[in-house]
Amino acid sequence: MSTPVAAWSRRRAWTVRAVGIAALVSLAATVWLGIWVTPPDQVQHDLVRLVYIHPPIAWVALYLAFGIGALGSVLWLWRRTRSPFWDRLASASIEVGTVFTALTLVTGSIWGRPTWGVWWAWDARLTSTALLLVMELGYLALRRVPGDPEARARRCAVAAIIAAVDVPIVHFSVVWWRTLHQGATVLNANLSPTIHGSMAWTLLLGFVAVTLVFVWMLLVRLRIETLEQALEGAELDEALQERWAEGDTEAALASPAGVGEP
């Protein structure tokens, strides 16, 4: 860890930028196609347009983000593959994932209101997503506890794995509990026949777009994590200096005679 942190190679920075641009473009295209170009559904009419963003967001949050978080945690804990990179990746992925999980609930709720008539329904998917959100918030809280970075990495990795193991259990228990949600029509691996033509393509584009957004955010967050860990001491020093400077200015303003008097 003695390499200078500022050495973020030009090529890597450019790659991140490229991903960001691709994400922006595909997202814009999805919105345009989703809202104006594609036809309304027979059953859901215009409301089906939310299918181009809600399931992609849900997929990214539940499977991609948390999956990477769990995988990174395992790879960090396993001695043979241990490297601070995995810890940073897991933490970054789960933080970005939390935003997407919350967004899943929000878009799901917005979609649910006109469809089912209620803002919130205790159906299987929403409930297990809500539980996942709480678990992710717990992980983030654990992450914020100050201390030795190695111990913190170990704690968080274990917490992520304990939660990850629970996710399928929660899923099954809540599915047995009740099901209002459409039965996985949209999350079928081979674009189920219930969605046709331009809608299918837009849906695919939606998945690609949201995934790109996530990947971009993950890369940026990863960079932030690396910088933060390397600059921990420096941040504190700067903050202290700012406080001291404030103290000096206050003292100077309070007492007309002399600057820097305590």
Partner 1 sequence: MSYIAAGYAAALVTMGLYAGLLLRRRRRLEALAERTGGDAP
Partner 2 sequence: MWRDSVLVAGKDLRIELRSRVVLNQVAPFSLVVLVLFAFTLGPSRAPMAKAAPGLFWVTVLFAAVLAVQRSVSLESSEARDGLRLSGLDPAGVFLGKAMALMAELVVLEVLLGAGVVLFYGVHVRSALDLVAACVAGTVGLAAAGTLYGALAGGLRVRETLLPFLLLPVAAPVLLAGTRAWQAALGTAAGGAGDPWLRLLCVFAAVYVALGVVIFGPILEAS
Binding site for partner 2 (CB under 8 A): 77, 131, 134-135, 137-138, 141-142, 145, 147, 151, 154-155, 157-159, 161-163, 165-166, 169-170, 172-174, 176-177
Cα first-last separation, the chain? 40
Helix (H) or strand (E) holding 206: helix 197-230
Joined together, the tokens standing for residue 86 give: 């995995």
Comparing C-alpha atoms, which of 35, 102, 30 is closest to residue 65? 102
Part in contact with partner 1 (CB under 8 A); list of ranges 71-79, 155-163, 173-181, 234-242 = 234-242
Among residues 22, 71, 99, 175, the one that binds partner 1 under rule CB under 8 A: 99
Residue 30's CB is within 10 A of a number of other CB atoms, namely 22
183 binds, among partner 2, partner 1, none (CB under 5 to 8 A by kind): none
231 binds, among partner 2, partner 1, none (CB under 5 to 8 A by kind): partner 1
CB distance 129 to 254 below 8 Å? no
Query: Count of residues binding partner 1 (CB under 8 A)?
Result: 45
Site for partner 1 in 138-197 (CB under 8 A): none
41 pairs with which residues across the strands?
Answer: 45
- Could you give the 3-state DSSP secondary structure of residue 21? helix
Please report where in the chains the tokens 């994400």 appear, as a residue: 23
Q: What is the CA radius of gyration of the chain?
A: 23
Comparing C-alpha atoms, which of 93, 133, 92 is closest to residue 109? 133
Among residues 227, 248, 251, 252, the one that binds partner 1 under rule CB under 8 A: 227
Among residues 19, 33, 53, 121, the one that binds partner 1 under rule CB under 8 A: 53
Closest approach, Cβ 158 to partner 2, in A, equals 5
Give contact residues for partner 1 (rule: CB under 8 A): 1-8, 27, 31, 34-35, 46-47, 49-50, 53-54, 57, 96, 99, 102-103, 106-107, 110-111, 113-114, 213, 216-217, 220-221, 223-224, 227-231, 233-235, 238
